[in-house]
Chain A
Amino acid sequence: MASEAHGAEEGGLVFHPMDQFNIKPLFGGDHVGLFTITNATLWMALAVVAVVAMMVIGTRRRAIVPSRSQSIGELAYGFVYKMVEDVAGKDAVKFFPYIMTLFMFIVSANFLGLLPMSFATTSHFAVTVVLAMAVFLTVTVVGFVKNGVGFLGLFWVSSAPLALRPILALIEVISYFVRPVSHSIRLAGNVMAGHAVLKVFAGFAAIAVVSPLSVVAITAMYGLEVLVAFIQAYVFTILTCVYLKDALHPSH
């Protein structure tokens, strides 16, 4: 990897935990244009492949008694479907394919990013900001289309004393617009931090005395990251459902 090369060049203990997030063109050149195929493109494509393998190839037999691979697809379907139904309500079910797309992409990208030498697409704000903004815009548009001006009732806490309501409305508005920020930074931040920590521990493995401890630490950290990979996909999805519920039923 790039970090080891740097370490050898400069000598001593040098960490480049962020080098793994560099975006490099795959087929020569060092200019990243709009359509350049980069390592990010490759791992996004692999995420598509993973989703197709899980949801389409796995279920190709349409068995009444499911095979293992079909069970995985059905499990993912049931997991997200139940989440949408329980959190966002029955009338949110028509957004299920949309939410399923977000979940499947994030969970696939997160797990693919955990493979050694791979590239974690969800560690980039460019990716998570687009995902979060897509949710934010969808929710806002759906809110106004469904409820018209009544959607603004989301910011007007009618259960609070009248004097407090303007202040609460201000807080609600701010929190509403902070949503996409927290939504995107939470995902990218978690993935990026985990990968960077792994890299730092890996850097320590260069010292012979510390290396056993370093390997143990990497193992433990990796286990944690596996958990984080799923939990962050889950959190992103369930927050999407919560926001969607606000849009469909804005009354507090």
Chain B
Amino acid sequence: MASTSTDATSHAAEAASAPGMPQLDFSNWGNQIFWLLITLVVIYFVLSRIALPRIAAVLAERQGTITNDIAAAEELKAKAVEAEEAYNKALADAKVEAARIVAEAKAEIQAELNVATQKADAEIAAKAAESEKAIATIRSGALASIKDVANATTAELVSALSGKADDADVAKAVDAQMKG
């Protein structure tokens, strides 16, 4: 191995193809280390100046967005709960109001109904009285007519049978018969 590395200083390619590990051929270490350092410095600057701040910013922004969104969602949820409560309260109020209006309307209708009933009763009573009066008149009229007709008929019958009829007697007899 040692001989390989000493040979390699003058014949790098030849030494590399000889049996042994190219890793231990120290002639090319300088070259590798030089390029490695450049590589590392480039990667370091690319990462520390561009990539890492950018990714950190994106991650922070995302975290902020998520936090904000969750806060907004919670706020909206609270608002929804509030709205639901307001709705329920309004509903309950409306029910109470409706019940009150129904009761009021019922009472009003009842009062109107009572008035109307009374009025109707009064009217009916008046009409009944009037009718009774009319019936009484008609009845009395009818009675008088019957008496007249009976008187006349009786007078005719009496005059036909006995020739002579005293109106007063006839009337008295008819009255007596009609009462009986």
Using a CB–CB cutoff of 8 Å, the interface residues on chain A facing chain B are 2, 16, 18-19, 21-24, 30-36, 38, 40-41, 44-45, 47-48, 51-52, 55-56, 59, 62-64, 66, 70, 73-74, 77-78, 96-98, 100-102, 104-105, 121, 123-127, 130-131, 134, 188, 192
Contact = CB atoms under 8 A, between A and B. Distances in A.
Interface string B43-71: 11011101110111111011001000000
Contact of A63 (B38, B40, B48, B58): B58
Nearest to A124: B23
B59 to A, nearest CB: 7
Given A55-B46, A77-B55, A36 B31 contact: yes
A56 B28 contact: no
B24 A23 contact: no
Contact of B46 (A51, A102, A126, A130): A51
A55 B29 contact: no
B165 interface: no
B16 to A, nearest CB: 4
A73 B12 CA distance: 40
A58 B58 CA distance: 13
A74 B55 contact: yes
Nearest to A65: B62
Contacts of A130: 33, 36-37
A56 B39 CA distance: 16
Interface of B: 11-13, 16-17, 19-25, 27-40, 42-44, 46-48, 50-52, 54-59, 61-62, 65
Contacts of B51: 55-56, 59, 73, 77
A74 B28 contact: no
Contact of B22 (A21, A36, A121): A21
B23 A192 contact: yes
B22 A22 contact: yes
Contacts of B58: 59, 62-64, 66, 70, 74
Nearest to B35: A41
B29 A104 contact: no
A100 B32 contact: no
A40 B48 CA distance: 24
A62 B57 CA distance: 8
Given A18-B20, A18-B22, A40-B31, A101 B36 contact: no
Contacts of B47: 51, 55, 97, 100-101, 104
Given A22-B17, A40-B32, A62-B54, 13 more contacts: A21-B22, A22-B16, A23-B28, A35-B34, A47-B39, A55-B55, A59-B51, A59-B55, A77-B52, A97-B52, A102-B40, A124-B22, A127-B36
Contacts of A97: 44, 47-48, 52
B48 to A, nearest CB: 4
Contacts of A47: 39, 43
Contacts of A188: 23
B50 A125 contact: no
16 contacts: A18-B21, A22-B16, A22-B22, A23-B28, A32-B31, A35-B34, A40-B28, A44-B38, A45-B39, A48-B42, A55-B47, A55-B50, A64-B62, A77-B51, A97-B52, A101-B44
